[in-house]
Copies of this chain bind each other. A is one copy, B any other.
Amino acid sequence: MLTAEIICVGTELLMGQVLNTNEQFIASRLTMAGIALNYSSVVGDNPQRLKDTLLRAKDRSDIIIMTGGLGPTDDDLTKETVAQVFNKKLVFHPECMEKMALYLKDAGRNMTKNNEKQAYLPEECIVIENDNGTAPGCIIEEGGKAAIMLPGPPREMMPMFNVTVFPYLKEKSGVVLYSRVLRLFGIGESRAAAMCDDLIKNQSNPTIAPYAKEGEVTFRITASAECEEEAKLLVDEKCSKMYEILGEYIYGEGDENSLANVVVQALREKNLTVATCESCTGGLIGKMITNVSGSSEVYGFGFVTYANEAKMQLVGVKGETLKKYGAVSEETAREMARGARLVSGSDIGVSVTGIAGPGGGSKEKPVGLVYIGVSDKHGCDVFRFVQHGDRERVRNKSALCALDIIRRRIQNG
């Protein structure tokens, strides 16, 4: 398997002024191309440190992908340093100069003397045209190693990568990778990993990579093979075993999927609508549902009943209930869910009431205590949680729990 290394050049990255999104973008494409990324690093605009990093990269990796340091100013040193390490001369590319002149004219800007520097590229390189900026990129090869240079701004880099670099990498790699991502909710990473310990311990091809993020756990199962069918077969077989063990927690698959998306699709399939009644989540469940394009088919009404008066006035929670049990109680959650369903005429009503903190907790009702109610024509259930973490986390996990409760309700209904 070919190995790659990313080097992002720019003092602004080391100062923390800019989030390095290029790294993730390139890393994910390398994975798709079946090339192993072993290292990624950031170096400032410092010639000696850049040279050291490059020499090491050339020594240990087949492909070096660099972003940044192709600008017109004196502290942009990527090409100069790469040319030195790869023993190439920089030569003037008149066609790059022309392209740059056109670009600047379109942008209503003038060519400066500095820009001329950007038309110098290593001899015998493959030029990568830049439609969104002045700096052209390039690929140079020497002794089976390749160095790919791209500008730093993502809106310039990404199209150049997609058009020229990705096809180049895929051809070079010749390996086919296939992967599936299983998404779990309601179980922690360590417990999930422990449950399929045997599968994880004995992994080689496919590999199983667990990852936990904001209340969710994902497993990426990836196989490499000579053709996609073969890789797919390996992955599918492993996934079947994981479904046997963890099926209850797996709500969906795919990198871009979300619990809200799965809930909206499930509601659509069953032709059902849902209404929300949110106290401590303050609109977050509604926001998550409406993140999904087309959610208007299944979601029309939401109530943010942050105040007790809102709970009574909008969804008919009884004053007596609030007085006797409090706003954060099973009984209130029940009346909220039922009220939201009936007032809106939706098929399902879901409610959340809890103490998000940091204030408002007591011994009997601590911060993190949350009741989630779900109501449909068959009846109403209320679930009690004690969520851990700060205000944002309590709210986020509560909203996800509410979505998962809807998902399970639809699945089992």
Does any Cβ of B come within 8 Å of A132's Cβ?
A: yes
On whether the beta carbons of A386 and B20 are closer than 8 Å, the reply is no
Bound together, the chains give a CA A39 to CA B42 distance in angstroms of 6
On whether the beta carbons of A16 and B20 are closer than 8 Å, the reply is no
One digit per residue, 1 when the CB lies within 8 angstroms of any chain B CB and 0 when it does not, for chain A 23-45 equals 11111111100000111111110
Does any Cβ of B come within 8 Å of A329's Cβ?
A: no
Q: Which of B18, B20, B358, B392 contacts A213 (CB 8 A)?
A: B18
Does any Cβ of B come within 8 Å of A15's Cβ?
A: yes
On whether the beta carbons of B17 and A220 are closer than 8 Å, the reply is yes
| Min distance, Cβ A156 to any Cβ of chain B, angstroms | 9
* Nearest B residue to A14, CB-CB: B37
Bound together, the chains give a CA A357 to CA B132 distance in angstroms of 14
Does any Cβ of B come within 8 Å of A286's Cβ?
A: yes
Q: A285-B283, A386-B106 are in contact. Are A16 and B26 (CB under 8 A)?
A: yes
Q: A15-B28, A24-B16, A189-B71 are in contact. Are A287 and B281 (CB under 8 A)?
A: yes
Contacts of A44 in B (CB 8 A): 37-38
Bound together, the chains give a CA A364 to CA B56 distance in angstroms of 53
Contacts of A38 in B (CB 8 A): 14, 43-44, 46, 49
One digit per residue, 1 when the CB lies within 8 angstroms of any chain B CB and 0 when it does not, for chain A 387-409 equals 11111110100000000000000
On whether the beta carbons of A191 and B109 are closer than 8 Å, the reply is yes
On whether the beta carbons of A17 and B155 are closer than 8 Å, the reply is no
On whether the beta carbons of B18 and A30 are closer than 8 Å, the reply is no
* Nearest B residue to A4, CB-CB: B14
Interface centre among A14, A193, A303 (most CB of B within 10 A): A14
Copies in the complex: 2
Bound together, the chains give a CA A21 to CA B392 distance in angstroms of 18
Contacts of A210 in B (CB 8 A): 73
| Min distance, Cβ A339 to any Cβ of chain B, angstroms | 13
Does any Cβ of B come within 8 Å of A248's Cβ?
A: no
Q: Which of B153, B188, B194, B282 contacts A287 (CB 8 A)?
A: B282
* Nearest B residue to A156, CB-CB: B389
Contacts of A353 in B (CB 8 A): none
Which of A110-118, A139-147, A223-231 interfaces with chain B?
A110-118
Sample 16 A-B pairs with CB under 8 A, ordered by A number. Answer: A15-B31, A16-B24, A16-B27, A16-B29, A17-B255, A20-B24, A40-B42, A41-B41, A73-B200, A108-B385, A112-B190, A134-B190, A278-B283, A281-B287, A282-B289, A300-B309
Closest 9 CB pairs of A and B: A302-B304, A16-B28, A282-B290, A283-B286, A300-B307, A283-B283, A16-B27, A41-B41, A40-B42
Known: A286-B304, A309-B345. 10 other contacts (CB 8 A): A13-B24, A14-B40, A16-B26, A23-B42, A73-B193, A106-B386, A107-B188, A155-B390, A283-B283, A287-B395
